[in-house]
């Protein structure tokens, strides 16, 4: 299994419990991180103003990634592109020269093809065409993942990238979906607890966000603690006392014990909905 992500920390906030579950079952899991997160802000208020971190953010985030990798039990490779940053303002400023989002899609996909052919995954996870949220690096990650999935098995494409290998399935991460958010929101309110999701749901309504098709619900509640430890390892990005951790784990396990995916491409027969990213593959292995 290969999980393609834009920045260090994305692997721990999107599908981490799923990866830890499969690792526990003996599945070889590789995280491919497209950029180093060089332009990421320090989001943890406890570390803001730390001059060393600000001046060495690339190295710090690499160390955080290594710690998270060890917690999850996965392998990890850097694709080697430079973080594009998240442009803000009206009008939006131009993206910085040389950043990931401005790379030629086909050329950039060649690096991912090489790793696919070396690692030989049966399943790849990535982001949908909106990037999960419209960060330019997330959208670019989607673009190169789609090109690489189709090209990796074609001997005429990227012949310099190694022997062809065709993955069987490609999924979009859809962990931040409305059914899950609503279920946790109402469960918290029913128990007389404060919910961090009220504003999320209002924004969904305001922007009329289209609902995605959730094809695959992977049971992985036993690995939520590992997921959270890996996320906390990204200390510059995550406040351990912040909103990510306001929903008690016991409640999460009871109300919504799965992580969700959208099956985008498959070359094997499968029956929807699924509970396993390897559905249709295990029988043919």
Domain's final residue, options 195, 211, 227: 211
Q: Measure Cα distances from 56 to 18, 32, 47, 262 in Å.
A: 31, 22, 13, 37
Residue pLDDT, tens place only, 265-274: 999 999 999 9
Query: d(Cα 78, Cα 80) in Å, to the nearest integer?
Result: 5
In this prediction, residue 164 has a pLDDT band, given cuts at 50, 70 and 90, of very high
Q: Rounded mean pLDDT of 78-82? A: 98
In a shared domain, residues 136 and 183:
no
Q: Rounded mean pLDDT of 152-159? A: 98
**69 pLDDT more than 60:** yes
Q: Strand order of the sheet with strand 169-173?
A: 75-81, 30-35, 2-5, 123-126, 169-173, 258-266, 216-219
In a shared domain, residues 185 and 83:
no
pLDDT of 275 reads 98
In a shared domain, residues 198 and 239:
no
Binding residues: 7, 10, 138
CB 99 within 8 A of CB 85: yes
In a shared domain, residues 108 and 236:
yes
In a shared domain, residues 36 and 115:
yes
Domain's final residue, options 211, 232, 254: 211
More confident residue, 201 or 145: 145
In this prediction, residue 207 has a pLDDT band, given cuts at 50, 70 and 90, of confident
Domain's final residue, options 196, 211, 226: 211
Q: Where are the alpha helices (DSSP H) in 73-135?
A: 105-119
Q: What percent of the chain has pLDDT over 90?
A: 85
How many residues appear in the chain? 285
Placement of tokens 């710090």 in the chain: 60
**285 pLDDT more than 70:** no
pLDDT of 227 reads 98
Binding residues for Zn(2+): 7, 10, 138
Placement of tokens 């559905």 in the chain: 279
**125 pLDDT more than 80:** yes
**76 pLDDT more than 60:** yes
Among 2-16, 18-32, 237-251, whose mean pLDDT is lowest?
237-251
In a shared domain, residues 243 and 164:
yes
More confident residue, 203 or 60: 60
Q: Rounded mean pLDDT of 75-97? A: 92
Number of independent structural domains in the chain: 2
In a shared domain, residues 98 and 202:
no
In a shared domain, residues 160 and 233:
yes
Query: d(Cα 82, Cα 100) in Å, to the nearest integer?
Result: 5
Mean pLDDT, the chain, rounded, equals: 95
In a shared domain, residues 193 and 85:
no
164: domain CATH number is 3.40.50.10320
Residue pLDDT, tens place only, 208-266: 677 899 999 999 999 999 999 999 999 999 998 888 899 999 999 999 999 999 999 99
pLDDT of 209 reads 72
In a shared domain, residues 196 and 276:
no
In a shared domain, residues 50 and 73:
yes
Domain range for 94 = 2-177+213-284
Strand partners, 263: 171
pLDDT of 208 reads 66
Residue 133: CB atoms within 10 Å: 10
In a shared domain, residues 57 and 71:
yes
């Amino acid at each position: 299994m290969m999980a393609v992500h834009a920045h260090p920390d994305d692997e721990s906030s999107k599908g981490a419990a799923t990866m830890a579950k499969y690792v526990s079952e003996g599945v070889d899991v590789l995280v491919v991180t497209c950029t180093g997160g060089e332009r990421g802000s320090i989001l943890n208020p406890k570390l803001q103003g730390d001059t060393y971190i600000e001046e060495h953010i690339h190295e710090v985030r690499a160390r955080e990634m290594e710690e998270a990798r060890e917690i999850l039990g996965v392998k990890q490779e850097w694709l080697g592109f430079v973080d594009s940053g998240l442009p803000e303002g009206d009008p939006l400023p131009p993206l910085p020269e040389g950043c990931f989002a401005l790379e030629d899609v086909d050329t950039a996909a060649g690096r991912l093809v090489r790793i696919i052919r070396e690692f030989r995954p049966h399943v790849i996870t990535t982001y949908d065409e909106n990037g999960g949220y419209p960060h330019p690096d997330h959208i670019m990650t989607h673009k190169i993942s789609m090109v690489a999935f189709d090209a990796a098995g074609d001997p005429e494409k990227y012949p310099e990238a190694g022997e062809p290998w065709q993955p069987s399935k490609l999924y979009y991460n859809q962990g931040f979906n409305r059914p899950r958010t609503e279920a946790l929101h109402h469960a918290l309110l029913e128990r007389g607890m404060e919910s961090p999701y009220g504003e999320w749901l209002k924004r969904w309504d305001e922007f009329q966000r289209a609902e995605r098709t959730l094809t695959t619900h992977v049971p992985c509640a036993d690995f939520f603690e590992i997921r959270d430890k890996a996320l906390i390892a990204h200390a510059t990005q995550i406040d351990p006392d912040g909103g990510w951790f306001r929903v008690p784990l016991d409640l999460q396990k009871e109300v919504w014990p799965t992580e969700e995916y959208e099956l985008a491409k498959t070359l094997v027969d499968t029956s929807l909905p699924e509970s396993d990213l390897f559905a249709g593959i295990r029988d043919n292995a």
